[in-house]
Amino acid sequence: MEVADKTTFKWDSKIPTGPLTEKWKTHKNNVKLVNPSNKRKYNILVVGTGLAGASAAASLGELGYNVKAFCIQDSARRAHSIAAQGGINAAKNYQNDGDSIWRLFYDTIKGGDYRAREANVYRLAEVSNNIIDQCVAQGVPFAREYGGTLDNRSFGGAQVSRTFYARGQTGQQLLLGAYSALMKMVHSGKVEVRTREEMLDLVTVDGTAKGIISRNLVTGKIERHAADAVLLCTGGYGNVFYLSTNAKNSNVTAAWRCYRKGALFANPSFTQIHPTCIPVSGEYQSKLTLMSESLRNDGRVWVPKAQGDKRHPNEIPEEERDYYLERIYPSFGNLVPRDVASRNAKNVCDEGRGVGESGLAVYLDFADAIKRDGEKAIRDRYGNLFEMYQKITDENPYEVPMRIYPAVHYTMGGLWVDYNLMTTVPGLFALGEANFSDHGANRLGASALMQGLADGYFVIPYTIGNYLTEVTPGEVDTTHKAFDEAEQSITAEIEKVLNIKGSKTILDFHRQLGKIMWDKVGMSRDEQGLKEAIEEISALRKEFWSDVFVPGQPATYNKYLEYALRVADFLELGELMARDALDRPESCGGHFREESKTPEGEAKRDDENYTHVSAWEFTGVDKAPVHHREPLIFENVKLTQRSYK
């Protein structure tokens, strides 16, 4: 299947003119404002209640809009953001170690291997400080120094200490802060939260987003919701790999349905493989558990120097250990960015020096830190992570080094958005992990929480006004034929999948897809593997639609039906990811093409030909999508080969 090509990008990214440091300020002064008394006439749907969705829904409710928010879980507070551990970045420079908005911007652009937009990233760094202020005011109990001021820690890819944290539960505390703001708006009647309700389609009228179709997950009833704007805050799609650190309900369906309705999907293959996760233990494994990157502040990564050394780690003498990150990258050491740490772990395991039963693990050792700072200090910093590790592996990391291995963790790709966070479908916005905007080809640690909250608290409340002033509120209601059509197609799809009554379970398909993705669209990719992946996924998808068994009835609580619909969409997304990876023969950030590496084996970019965003346009299932390219223009930073040596 040939890919139709369009080299020019016909959609405007709406980046304001003027110097980088002034763009956002100027833009805020220029956006059109909705008259306060008119705001209540506008209905906004916010799909998702993670950091992005909860903060957006609460802030828009406060401004006076009518907001309806949706989530899959039984409470808004359970969104996947709750699981984030390590921290959130901000350019406060409280540590007086030379941090600044510029430096945070620069680190993020560089960390993303120069595949993100300067203007978006600068704005992100600019609002980062407001986020910390807002969260503290909400009562988020960030870690503090004895003097009462806020504490910071370091994270990978940065040489300053700018990460704010709340023990190992930063995401939980930030989400509970946003959730509390959201519940306050629920109390005041400005926001309605629909829990256990899943968006299954976007409704467009003349190409403009006017509502959604959802399924009430308790009763199975298909529902219609009309609105003047739809905000997609539905998180990432790492579960396309089956095993990932994402929560089990994380999925691509909402974003995928928008893609099918005309929203471009950008850089789908840009996936982050996180270096510090608990290794796979068996076939039955249902998900992978992250051990926060913050552990690399104190833990030292090593493997035995010799291949196949099966001795107990504590019996391997110092001189027979290879602290390979410290050896290869003396200036960043254990704090190299994630993509670099992951690839190196894979390399040492490929060399036969991996540890543990499977040989697919490396050690993360705290012995030196405990000797230096005492067990109590380490317990204070990472107690709950150590506990979690012990619960899962039955090993005590205070005594035996942790075993870790890379796992799929985050997806930098997502719906293409302009500077206002609007997709190519007017009225449809995407926030948080669901969009592609700020992390380029690799996300730095503690930057996803920052981005989700930046989008929700500080960007969308300004930029949505620009769009809304152009539309008449309530133009379309749920009796419009676009709703009839969308509802009929969803009902038919549900019936179809339930009636296959095949011989394989949904999990069988998901696992098989995950294996193809991990082997061929995972940590390293090459042309042949990617071509095979495209064929294999397409075949698997056909098999799914003829041989899957989905239990139960449409109109009841039915988790496996939900699951089947999500896996069906993953089976389409996986193919697009492989295509996207194939059409980018350079290596950059988390996207590593075997064909493109430096003599030292590091990712080698090809700036001349690939300094662009790839954005894909749907043309039909089993049909080749159209490839668009948005050139990335760097006016303020010089593109260099990333070096962490």
Partner 1 sequence: MSNKDIISVNLKVWRQDGPNDKGRFEDYSLKEVNTHMSFLEMLDVLNENLMKEQKQPVEFDHDCREGICGSCNLVINGIPHGPEARTAACQLHMRHFNDGDTITIEPWRATAFPVIKDLVVDRNAFDRIMAAGGYVTVATGNAPDANAIPISKIDADSAMDYAVCIGCGACVAACPNSSASLFTGAKVAQLSKLPQGAPERKQRVKAMVEQMDKEGFGDCSNFAECEAVCPVGISITSIATMRTEYVKAMFS
Ligand X SMILES: Cc1cc2nc3c(=O)[nH]c(=O)nc-3n(C[C@H](O)[C@H](O)[C@H](O)COP(=O)(O)OP(=O)(O)OC[C@H]3O[C@@H](n4cnc5c(N)ncnc54)[C@H](O)[C@@H]3O)c2cc1C
Active centre residues (catalytic): 338
Q: Is 78 in the site for partner 1 (CB under 8 A)?
A: yes
Residue 180 touches which member of ligand X, partner 1, none, C-beta under 5-8 Å by kind: partner 1
Q: Which is nearer to partner 1, 512 or 611 (CB)?
A: 512
**Site residues for ligand X, window 389-418 (CB under 6 A)?**
409-410
Q: Is 454 in the site for ligand X (CB under 6 A)?
A: no
Q: Is 147 in the site for partner 1 (CB under 8 A)?
A: yes
Q: Quick one: which segment of 14-22, 117-125, 140-148, 443-451 binds partner 1 (CB under 8 A)?
A: 140-148
How do strand 504-505 and strand 548-549 relate by DSSP bridges? parallel
CB of 293 to ligand X, least distance (A): 7
Please answer whether residues 153 and 116 qualify as being in contact, where contact means their C-beta atoms are separated by less than 8 angstroms: no
Task: Kindly write out the interface string for residues 499-518 of this chain, putting x where it contacts partner 1 by CB under 8 A and - elsewhere.
Answer: --x---x-x-----------
Please tell me the total number of residues recorded for the chain in this structure.
645
Q: Is 179 in the site for partner 1 (CB under 8 A)?
A: yes
Residue 203 touches which member of partner 1, ligand X, none, C-beta under 5-8 Å by kind: none
Q: Quick one: which segment of 143-151, 484-492, 512-520, 568-576 binds partner 1 (CB under 8 A)?
A: 143-151
Residue 199 touches which member of partner 1, ligand X, none, C-beta under 5-8 Å by kind: ligand X
Which of 14, 28, 184, 604 binds partner 1 (CB under 8 A)? It is: 184
**Site residues for ligand X, window 136-195 (CB under 6 A)?**
170-171
Q: Quick one: which segment of 253-261, 276-284, 306-314, 482-490 binds partner 1 (CB under 8 A)?
A: 276-284
Cα angle 520, 523, 528; round to 5? 30
Q: Residue 587, exposed/middle/buried by CB under 10 A (0-12, 13-18, 19+)? A: buried
Q: Which residues contact 159 (CB under 8 A, 6 or more apart)?
A: 332
CB of 514 to partner 1, least distance (A): 14
- Nearest CA-CA partner of 550 in 497, 512, 510, 509: 497
Phi (first) and psi of residue 461, to 5 degrees? -60, -30
Q: Is 422 in the site for ligand X (CB under 6 A)?
A: no
Please answer whether residues 172 and 82 qualify as being in contact, where contact means their C-beta atoms are separated by less than 8 angstroms: yes
DSSP codes, 395-421: --TTTS-EEEEEEEEEE--EE---TTS
Q: Which is nearer to ligand X, 124 or 588 (CB)?
A: 124
How do strand 300-304 and strand 362-365 relate by DSSP bridges? antiparallel
CB of 586 to ligand X, least distance (A): 25
Q: Which is nearer to ligand X, 73 or 358 (CB)?
A: 73
Helix (H) / strand (E) element for 552: namely none
Q: Which is nearer to partner 1, 143 or 626 (CB)?
A: 143
Q: Is 112 in the site for ligand X (CB under 6 A)?
A: no
Q: Is 48 in the site for ligand X (CB under 6 A)?
A: yes
Which of 44, 325, 408, 446 binds ligand X (CB under 6 A)? It is: 446
Residue 508: CA count within 13 A, CB half-sphere: 12
Q: Is 572 in the site for ligand X (CB under 6 A)?
A: no
Report d(CA 434, CA 256) in Å as an integer.
Answer: 10
Please answer whether residues 535 and 543 qualify as being in contact, where contact means their C-beta atoms are separated by less than 8 angstroms: no
Q: Is 554 in the site for partner 1 (CB under 8 A)?
A: no
Q: Quick one: which segment of 18-26, 358-366, 464-472, 551-559 binds partner 1 (CB under 8 A)?
A: 551-559
**Site residues for ligand X, window 207-236 (CB under 6 A)?**
233-236
Q: Is 161 in the site for partner 1 (CB under 8 A)?
A: no
Which of 318, 394, 608, 635 binds partner 1 (CB under 8 A)? It is: 394
Q: Is 276 in the site for ligand X (CB under 6 A)?
A: no
Please answer whether residues 456 and 462 qualify as being in contact, where contact means their C-beta atoms are separated by less than 8 angstroms: no
Q: Which is nearer to ligand X, 234 or 269 (CB)?
A: 234
Which of 108, 208, 253, 269 binds ligand X (CB under 6 A)? It is: 253
Q: Is 625 in the site for ligand X (CB under 6 A)?
A: no
- Nearest CA-CA partner of 632 in 39, 157, 121: 121
CB of 71 to partner 1, least distance (A): 11
Q: Which residues contact 459 (CB under 8 A, 6 or more apart)?
A: 123, 127, 421, 431
Please answer whether residues 453 and 230 qualify as being in contact, where contact means their C-beta atoms are separated by less than 8 angstroms: no
Q: Which residues of 458-491 are buried (b: 16+ CB within 10 A; e: fewer)?
A: bbbbebbbbbbeebebeebebebebbeebbeebe
Q: Quick one: which segment of 82-90, 109-117, 389-397, 539-547 binds ligand X (CB under 6 A)?
A: 82-90
Which of 58, 240, 325, 449 binds ligand X (CB under 6 A)? It is: 449
Query: For the chain, how long is the longest CA-to-CA vector?
Result: 74
**Site residues for partner 1, window 290-349 (CB under 8 A)?**
none
Please answer whether residues 73 and 198 qualify as being in contact, where contact means their C-beta atoms are separated by less than 8 angstroms: no
Residue 179 touches which member of partner 1, ligand X, none, C-beta under 5-8 Å by kind: partner 1
CB of 177 to partner 1, least distance (A): 9
Task: Kindly write out the interface string for residues 47-66 of this chain, putting x where it contacts partner 1 by CB under 8 A and - elsewhere.
Answer: --------x--xx--x----
Q: Quick one: which segment of 14-22, 103-111, 142-150, 632-640 binds partner 1 (CB under 8 A)?
A: 142-150
3-state per-residue secondary structure call for 73-107: CCCHHHCHHHHCCCCEECCCCCCCCCCCHHHHHHH
Helix (H) / strand (E) element for 1: namely none
Q: Is 275 in the site for ligand X (CB under 6 A)?
A: no
CA dihedral of residues 582, 587, 590, 592 (deg, nearest 10): 70
Q: Quick one: which segment of 77-85, 99-107, 261-269, 505-513 binds ligand X (CB under 6 A)?
A: 77-85
Q: Is 276 in the site for partner 1 (CB under 8 A)?
A: no
Which of 50, 61, 279, 337 binds ligand X (CB under 6 A)? It is: 50
Report d(CA 215, CA 209) in Å as an integer.
Answer: 18
Residue 314 touches which member of partner 1, ligand X, none, C-beta under 5-8 Å by kind: none
Q: Which residues of 414-449 are buried (b: 16+ CB within 10 A; e: fewer)?
A: bbbbbbbbbbbbbbbbbbbbbbbbbbbbbbbbbbbb
Residue 235 touches which member of partner 1, ligand X, none, C-beta under 5-8 Å by kind: ligand X
Size of the site for partner 1 (CB under 8 A): 79
**Site residues for ligand X, window 280-299 (CB under 6 A)?**
290, 292
How do strand 229-232 and strand 428-430 relate by DSSP bridges? parallel
Cα angle 179, 184, 186; round to 5? 90
Q: Which of helix, strand or coil describes residue 267?
A: coil
Contacting residues toward ligand X, per CB under 6 A? 47-53, 70-73, 79-81, 83-88, 170-171, 198-199, 233-236, 245-246, 250-251, 253-254, 290, 292, 409-410, 432-434, 446-449, 452
